[in-house]
C-alpha cells in the first residue's frame, strides 16, 4: 500500500488576517484532507473554518500535538499516513517546522519515506527580515535568548559582534510577556550605532515594523508587552 502525503499548512499570524494568509491552493488542499496533526486544536479548528473548510468538522480526525501530548510519543500520528491518507500538519501560528515542534513530525515523515509538501503561507521570521532592510542573503535565526540577565547581555553582545564580523542579520524572539525586559536589555547593552528592527503584530491591524539605531530607539521606547515580536540586529 502506498504511503500518504504530509501537507505543511501555515496558519495566520493574527486574528482577522485570513485574507492575507490563504491561497486558493491551500483552500483546495484542506478540503481534500480529513486528518490533521495540530499544535493547538482550538486554533486549528478556527483556522479551518475561516479558510473555507466544507467538510463537517465532526468528520475530521485531529491529533493534538500539544506539549503534554508530545511526551506520549508520535506513533499514533502516523497511522493514517502509513495507510495512504493525506494528513495536514499545522502550527499554532505561522509555518509548521519553523521555530515550531512540528519539525519533529516532518523529520520522522522523511525517515519513513512519506512525501512532505510545504504550502505557501505567512512566516513571521521571514516577513520581519523582508521589512527590516537588513541583509537577506546572510542571516541567522537564534530563537530565544537566555532569561538570565547576565547571560542575556552576553548573548546580545555576541550577536552584535557576529552581525558586524559576518555582515549577517541576527534574528531572535522572546515570549511576548517578556518582550519589554528584553528590549530594555538590548537598549542598555548594544552599541549606539547598531541597528535594531522591531517587527510587532505582523499581518494584524496593529502591525508595527521600524528599523532604527539603538540611540534612536532610546529616545522613544515602544511598549511590546504581550505583542508577538521579532527582533533583528544588524551593524552597518
Q: Which ranges of the chain does DSSP label H, i.e. alpha helix?
A: 18-21, 24-30, 41-50, 67-70, 79-82, 103-111, 124-132, 149-166, 179-189, 214-219
C-alpha cell, 54: 466544507
| pLDDT per residue rounded down to tens, the chain (236 residues) | 789 999 999 999 988 888 888 889 999 999 999 999 998 888 899 999 988 899 999 999 999 887 665 555 567 889 999 999 999 999 988 999 998 888 999 999 999 999 999 999 999 999 999 999 999 999 999 999 999 999 999 999 999 999 999 999 999 999 999 999 999 999 999 999 999 999 999 999 999 999 999 999 999 999 999 999 999 999 87
Please enumerate in sequence order all residues whose Cβ is within 8 A of that of 50, keeping only pairs 6 or more positions apart, or say none: 12, 18
Q: What is the CATH number of the domain that holds 86?
A: 3.40.1010.10
Of 87, 118, 149, which residue sits at a domain end?
118
Pick the closest to residue 182 from 220, 230, 130 (CA basis). 230
Report the predicted TM-score, pTM, of the whole model to 2 decimal places: 0.91
Of 92, 118, 144, which residue sits at a domain end?
118
Q: Which domain holds residue 53?
A: 5-118
Instruction: Verify that 35 and 131 share a domain, yes or no.
Output: no
Amino acid at each position: 500500500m502506498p504511503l500518504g502525503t504530509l501537507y505543511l499548512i501555515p496558519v495566520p499570524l493574527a486574528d482577522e488576517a485570513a485574507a492575507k494568509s490563504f491561497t486558493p491552493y491551500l483552500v483546495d488542499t484542506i478540503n481534500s484532507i480529513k486528518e490533521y496533526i495540530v499544535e493547538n486544536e482550538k486554533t486549528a479548528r478556527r483556522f479551518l473554518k475561516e479558510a473555507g473548510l466544507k467538510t463537517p468538522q465532526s468528520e475530521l480526525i485531529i491529533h493534538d500535538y500539544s506539549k503534554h501530548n508530545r511526551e506520549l510519543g508520535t506513533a499514533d500520528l502516523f497511522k493514517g499516513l502509513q495507510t495512504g491518507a493525506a494528513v495536514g500538519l499545522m502550527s499554532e501560528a505561522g509555518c509548521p517546522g519553523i521555530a515550531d515542534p512540528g519539525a519533529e513530525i516532518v523529520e520522522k515523515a522523511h525517515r519513513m519515506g512519506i512525501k512532505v509538501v510545504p504550502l505557501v503561507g505567512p512566516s513571521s521570521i521571514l516577513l520581519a527580515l523582508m521589512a527590516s532592510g537588513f541583509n537577506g542573503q546572510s542571516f541567522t535565526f537564534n530563537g530565544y535568548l537566555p532569561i538570565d540577565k547576565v547571560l542575556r547581555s552576553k548573548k546580545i553582545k555576541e550577536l552584535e559582534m557576529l552581525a558586524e564580523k559576518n555582515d549577517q542579520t541576527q534574528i531572535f524572539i522572546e515570549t511576548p510577556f517578556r518582550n519589554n525586559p528584553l528590549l530594555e536589555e538590548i537598549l542598555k547593552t548594544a552599541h549606539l550605532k547598531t541597528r535594531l528592527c522591531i517587527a510587532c503584530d505582523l499581518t494584524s491591524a496593529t502591525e508595527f515594523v521600524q528599523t532604527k539605531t539603538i540611540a534612536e530607539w532610546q529616545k522613544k521606547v515602544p511598549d511590546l508587552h504581550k505583542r508577538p515580536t521579532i527582533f533583528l540586529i544588524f551593524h552597518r
